A = this chain, B = another copy of it.
Amino acid sequence: MAVNLPLPIAANLKPVAGIELGYAEAGVRKANRKDLLVMKLAPTATVAGVFTTNRFCAAPVQVCKAHLEAARMSGAPIRALVINTGNANAGTGEAGLANANATCLALSELLGCDAAQILPFSTGVILEPLPVDRIKAGMPQAIANLKTDNWYNAAESIMTTDTQPKAASRSVTINGKTITLTGISKGAGMIKPNMATMLGYLAMDAKVAQPVLDHLVKEAADKSFNCITIDGDTSTNDSFMLIATGAAGLEVNEIDTPEYKALAEAVIGLSQELAQMIVRDGEGATKFMTITVEEGANVEECRKIAYSIGHSPLVKTAFYASDPNLGRILAAIGYAGIDDLDVSKLNLYLDDVWVAKNGGRNPDYQETDGQRVMKQSEITIRVKLARGTAAATVWTCDLSHDYVSINADYRS
């Protein structure tokens, strides 16, 4: 049961001119489920991505990077993305690379372009060969139902252990031109590397120069998908792709312009929404926690402390139990690895409740106040370091019995 996450409404997911989506039931691992998605792009589109830093980076991720680089060199644009669930094509060596390339080749022949103009993505079981024949066999079905208003189906097609599809839209008017942005996401970055890589795709109809899009995708990932954690694990296949179809009138060719800033704000906002949906649907999640660390000497140390709190199984189980066992948060701050942290200046708040003052219990803190906040389904933990002006935010969920059940039982 996801935390405060209503189902998306298909009619509210706005088509983005220049991108069509088609899905198939290819039977990659199980029959009768949408498990193959093709996103076909206008030739005017630019594409940029950020990928997992896991050294066991999956074959499709390696091929994606190579094809993005090739597109930059040749000027031949990326024409389609193809995503399968049910198999991650990770830990599969040379054969895995060959299968990812075969997937691209098959789709390129159907779409009339080069294999290097296709980006492949896979999510599912690690260490097993990709059933590339079934994926190829499903492609004609996916191509046959390519439509611009297929976003809800697209969101369903990339689900693995997600309990519901994740998608959102927004629009922004810049220089009198309305830009539409729609995105989908799935799985939790590391809730489950075998069946739930984190994937995010955000398309917009602005025309964005490649170097600008490269900059924007990093900025957006850094402020959204890189700020979430379920259990601290990092998948072999995590990817976030930003697509600018170029179908609308607005052109953004430089950063540090008003157009860039307005567009970036919309992209970052939508990316945060898609990223937070993943946390809200985190395995076994019953609470959504925002961890904000302020007054740091730099962003890096704020983020380290926020992640240290967000990864602590002790903190996460206390939140599950609605138990204001707040010494656990202080302990997690203390072992975050900030060697010169002066804890005697530190303040800690739970929503509006001032819990720890100058490193110790706030004399005015009442356990009943902590208890009141802990019972909520949305909680903000705020830490003030009194070291500077930097800040960072991380979103996470609690650790429940269901997390253990889901992860212990899923393959059995």
Interface residues of A (CB under 8 A from B): 53-57, 88, 90-93, 95-96, 125-128, 190, 192-194, 231-236, 311-314, 317-318, 320-321, 323, 325-328, 330-336, 338-339, 341, 343-344, 356, 358-361, 399-401, 403-405, 407-409, 411-412
Contact = CB atoms under 8 A, between A and B. Distances in A.
B361 A327 contact: no
Nearest to A328: B193
A336 B403 CA distance: 23
User: Among the interface residues A57, A127, A331, A405, which one has the most CB atoms of the partner chain B within 10 A?
Assistant: A331
A372 to B, nearest CB: 15
A314 to B, nearest CB: 5
A313 B56 contact: no
B332 A233 contact: yes
6 contacts: A54-B331, A56-B333, A126-B327, A233-B328, A317-B404, A321-B408
A321 B334 CA distance: 32
State the number of copies, please.
2
Interface of A is mostly: loop
A35 to B, nearest CB: 19
Given A321-B409, A323-B408, A404-B399, A313 B233 contact: yes
Contacts of A332: 233
Given A56-B331, A90-B327, 18 more contacts: A54-B331, A91-B356, A126-B330, A126-B331, A127-B330, A127-B356, A127-B360, A194-B325, A232-B313, A236-B334, A313-B313, A313-B403, A317-B403, A318-B408, A323-B408, A400-B408, A403-B404, A404-B404
